[in-house]
């Protein structure tokens, strides 16, 4: 628990933390919304976070796409819309999961690191080409400390 308090304050754990997309990420989000066909043709997928119960819930859309911010073909990006809200909690991590039924099992996961904030837009660079990520079916928010699923979004 002491390690967790070094990473996040009690206020962040219980009340959350708002984050904001940078200008380049905002432009990328506009491109996705303005060019849905091109987004899909380039391997892009999207999903909406779901409410599991009163304590474990999320809302908003997340996008998985080639990293157009750097242009590196060997990188992808997980991008949260500014309207995303995740129920605050301790030790929340962002994973990609090979499962669609993540309530039963996470399957194989790709760890993207600590959740940057529980409200607002954020992005995570993935050091893999978008084609290598086809086996991942869900974006997951998971409490590592207590081994609890908070929310997930099926990527379609």
Contact 79, 25 (CB under 8 A): yes
Confidence at residue 8, expressed as pLDDT on a 0 to 100 scale: 57
Pairing of strands 85-86, 109-114: unpaired
Domains along the chain with CATH numbers:
2-154 (2.60.40)
Within 10 angstroms of residue 15's Cβ, the number of other Cβ atoms is 10
Confidence at residue 133, expressed as pLDDT on a 0 to 100 scale: 98
d(CA 122, CA 134): 21
Confidence at residue 16, expressed as pLDDT on a 0 to 100 scale: 79
Residue-averaged pLDDT of the chain: 92
Contact 105, 116 (CB under 8 A): no
Average pLDDT over residues 2-24: 70
* 6-15, 35-44, 119-128, 144-153: range with lowest mean pLDDT: 6-15
Confidence at residue 4, expressed as pLDDT on a 0 to 100 scale: 46
Mind listing the pLDDT tens digit for each residue in 34-85? 999 999 999 999 999 999 999 999 999 999 999 999 878 899 999 999 999 9
Task: Please name every residue paired with 126 in a beta bridge, in sequence order, or none if there are none.
Answer: 76
Return the H-helix or E-strand segment holding 33: helix 23-34
Confidence at residue 40, expressed as pLDDT on a 0 to 100 scale: 97
Confidence of residue 13 (pLDDT cuts 50, 70, 90): low
Confidence at residue 15, expressed as pLDDT on a 0 to 100 scale: 65
Q: Give the number of residues written for the chain.
A: 156
């Amino acid at each position: 628990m002491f390690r967790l308090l070094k990473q996040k304050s009690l206020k962040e754990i219980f009340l959350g933390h708002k984050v904001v997309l940078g200008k380049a990420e905002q432009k990328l989000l506009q491109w996705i919304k303005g060019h849905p066909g091109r987004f899909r043709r380039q391997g892009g997928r999207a999903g909406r976070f779901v409410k599991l119960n009163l304590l474990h819930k999320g809302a908003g859309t997340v996008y998985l796409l080639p990293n157009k911010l750097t242009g590196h073909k060997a990188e992808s990006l997980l991008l949260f819309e500014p309207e995303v809200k995740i129920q605050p909690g301790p030790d929340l991590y962002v994973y990609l999961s090979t499962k669609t039924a993540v309530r039963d099992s996470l399957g194989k996961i790709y760890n993207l690191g600590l959740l940057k904030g529980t409200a607002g837009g954020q992005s995570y660079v993935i050091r893999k080409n978008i084609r290598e990520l086809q086996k991942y079916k869900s974006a997951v928010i998971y409490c590592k400390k207590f081994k609890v699923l908070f929310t997930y979004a099926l990527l379609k």
